[in-house]
Structure 1
């Protein structure tokens, strides 16, 4: 006859994840962070300073949907893998913080993928149409030229588009930087647990 089941038998355990789970977690986290650092701090600045503005905008408009979707998928998978290996009943304060960081990264990624990124790209296309009709857009660099400043001053619809673009681009950039910071903190959390390289 079996005795009563003890509470210890039914409590979840914080088991060591398999090497496959650890590898997947590292691959998703490092892929996301590496991609974000490259796009944010290298590719954007190099292309922005070397290509005609409209060419730069076109390239970003084509690449960013992939960039945002890959980042969102990696963020979601990182959260899922970490949560699977750390039952909520056994979470330490540090692990709870890590879950929150992954959740913030997922939220910021999804906002960029579903809202800020597409809206920014759509407004950019409208801006480029107006600029092309005035012979603008082939200048190299992102600094506003005298011609574009004059167009903003004389064309109310262009001015409104410029203001909308600035707002949504700033929100998209903020979400992107939030993800970079979250993934950097997650990498620090993992590195602090490494016993050897």
Structure 2
């Protein structure tokens, strides 16, 4: 209801008056910004708010289980929203094959960002979660998992020096987790680069 209220106010009292001179283009621009901002906001929250708070305040295994629910949901939201944002951007610059080079690069950047999120959602994150669960089994057998994340991490590193099963579980986990983290960073870079592009278009 709040979104409808603010959108109605923007349409009614916007600079171009009621609906403006091109309501379709304005609606597509609004959709592009809305979906892009949602994707960027979800990414920033998941990395810099949710992820940090979980790491600081939750027991090690509880944090892992919660991240196992939060991050797939975030990747799903990002994939859908960035794809819709890219579609709106393509519509606004149609025919995109004759659009300026900078706009074509931005479209390619958004499509690549969707690809990183989709790869994380379908391939990398599920493998990471599988390896995390396997490592949790090994850690529980060693009495780890209920400590805070810092203490649990230190205990894991210490025990892995003398426990081959834990060391092997750690290697499998990081072999899966690092590509997922790189894909997430690449997606974040793509969104940040598009934000820079949009900021350059503003006239304040």
Instruction: Identify the range of structure 1 (25-34 vs 125-134) with the bigger mean alpha-carbon deviation.
Output: 125-134
| Cα offset, 1:133, TM superposition | 1.6
Superposed, 1:10-159 pairs within 5 Å as 18-86=25-93, 87-142=95-150, 144-145=153-154, 147-159=155-167
**What SS does the corresponding residue of 1:137 show, helix, strand or coil?**
coil
Give the superposition deviation at 1:109: 0.5
- Structure 1 CA distance for aligned equivalents of residues 60 and 165 of structure 2: 20
- With CA pairs under 8 Å and 6+ residues apart, which has the higher RCO, 1 or 2? 1
Rounded to whole Å, the distance in 1 between the matches of 2:156 and 2:75 is 29
What TM-score, normalized by structure 1, do the two folds share?
A: 0.84
- What is the count of residue pairs matched by the alignment? 181
**Is residue 33–residue 180 contact of structure 1 (8 Å, CA) maintained in 2?**
yes
Alpha-carbon shift at residue 117 of structure 1 (Å) = 0.6
Structure 1: segments with no counterpart, 5+ residues: 1-14
Shift of 1:16: 9.7
The structure with more radius of gyration: 1
My pick for the range that moved more, 179-188 or 83-92, is: 83-92
Tell me, in whole angstroms, the C-alpha distance in 2 between the residues paired with 1:167 and 1:175: 13
Which residues of structure 2 form unaligned runs of 5+?
A: 1-21
Moved >6 Å (runs of 4+): none
Aligned-pair CA distance for 1:115: 0.8
Q: 2:185 aligns with which of 143, 152, 177?
A: 177
Distance 1:173 1:142 in 2: 20
Aligned 8 A contact 2:35 2:85 in 1: yes
Distance 2:150 2:99 in 1: 47
For the aligned residue pairs, the C-alpha RMSD in angstroms reads: 1.9
**Any idea what the Cα deviations from partners look like across 1:55-95, whole Å, max 9, x if unmatched?**
11011011121111111111211222111222133211111
